[in-house]
Structure 1
Amino acid sequence: MDNKHDILTLLRSVAEGATSPEEALLNLKEVPFEDLDYAKIDYHRSIRQGASEVIYGEGKTPEQIKGIVTAMGERGCRNILVTRIGQEAADILCGAVPAEYHPLPKLAVAFPEEREHRGSIVVATGGTSDMPVAEEAALTAETLGNNVTRLYDVGVAGLHRLLSNLDPIMSARCIVAVAGMEGALASVIGGLADCPVIAVPTSVGYGASFGGLSALLSMLNSCASGCSVVNIDNGFGAGYLASMINQMEGL
């Protein structure tokens, strides 16, 4: 049992009398994870959270990444996200399994599969230099089944660029604001939008930005209501949270 659909199919089979409760129990008792020695793959992640386990590629060898993804693919996992993966590891992965690699955010999607996209998420950046983090957020959200609008290089140094895009901002269900330097973009968008804003500080900036710490503190101290903040350069976390917000019923 690797996803909610499988569980529901099994339960309906029991309700219809095609499967005995004992058989169903045996299926549900399958090991919920697989031990590869170097990794323990959580196959019940999609049942609990609605999405397969995401692989953090940095620090893993290409062979480890390939092994984890291959095992997940054999169990029917699709649209497997691999974040922070370098070109060498990506080449090995793409040679072993169906996968799409996006070099700017260093993100791969293994066993890609079309799915219905819903709602509306906006991903905005203060500058072009913030795009790698923003693309990680945007591609994560798209892979999880969301419509994403990108508004790049609309920072406060030229506020008219942001104000000329009010329609997508006003119609979004969730907005991801990605910015380095002083990180003011999140507060500005938070003062314009009536939906949750997820602020992503980036490590872009000169010395006094302290590798994104300045933007992080600015975003944490935002006076705009409805702003939450993820860790420095954590585009994946922002995209995942935006997906959860966007797909909540009744939002």
Structure 2
Amino acid sequence: MSSKTATEPASAPAAESHTTFFRQSGWLVVATVSGGVFMTATQMVANRWMAPAEYSVWFALLRIFLLMSIPSAGLQIIFAQQTAAALGDAQYRQLAGTVGATLRATFYIWLMMVGVTFFAQAHWMSALKIMNPAALWVTVLIGLASLWAPIVKGVLQGLQNFLGLGWVLVLDGAGRFAAIALILWLGGQAAGGMTGALAGQGVSLALGVWLIRRLLFAPRERMEWLPWLRRVVPLSLGIGSIQ
């Protein structure tokens, strides 16, 4: 009798923890599938409401957007691992330093992309048959969100904040679909489609940043770049090569 009484309090938190984990994991699966469904629906709406030439431009710009995200392709996995391992104060400060330094580094990479686009704008518009330069520049703006999003998602995953991560995924897909559908319904074409994509990803990224705000303002230690890059570069190149 006493043995049973002693085991019950210990087993109850464990059972509750397992229930919470499976519930949140299930929500994450639903969110991932929902995000994919909304992305597919976005393609269908764009194909139906855009002029064929504008749809070709929009599709080409989406490929450019994917290429711009290659430098961050492996960051979600890396930050999920590092965040999950940050159990002590020193490790948490290292994590905060790594997140801050990586956000700055990817911002500098994005600025180089802006420079290349600025000086070669005529070439890109001719090669991609873009009539409205706004379509090209909105794509460049989305590039920054695509570089930062894997960092934010990786931290949320490492924190096991599956509820927040799920909403980030849902908002990215649903927000993009709603914005693009509205803009195209109002008569927008490729530039409008990319603006809708920017709106969806911007809202999603803003939510993710708010959820990890404590880490972003935490005390931090200096990042050791060389060992970190040895892990990240092969992973990013491997994932980027199949995008």
For the criterion TM > 0.5, the same-fold answer is: no
Q: Which structure shows the bigger proportion of residues in helix conformation?
A: 2
Q: Which structure shows the bigger proportion of residues in strand conformation?
A: 1
Normalising by structure 1, we get a TM-score of: 0.22
Normalising by structure 2, we get a TM-score of: 0.23
Q: Which has the higher contact order (CA 8 A, sep 6+)?
A: 2
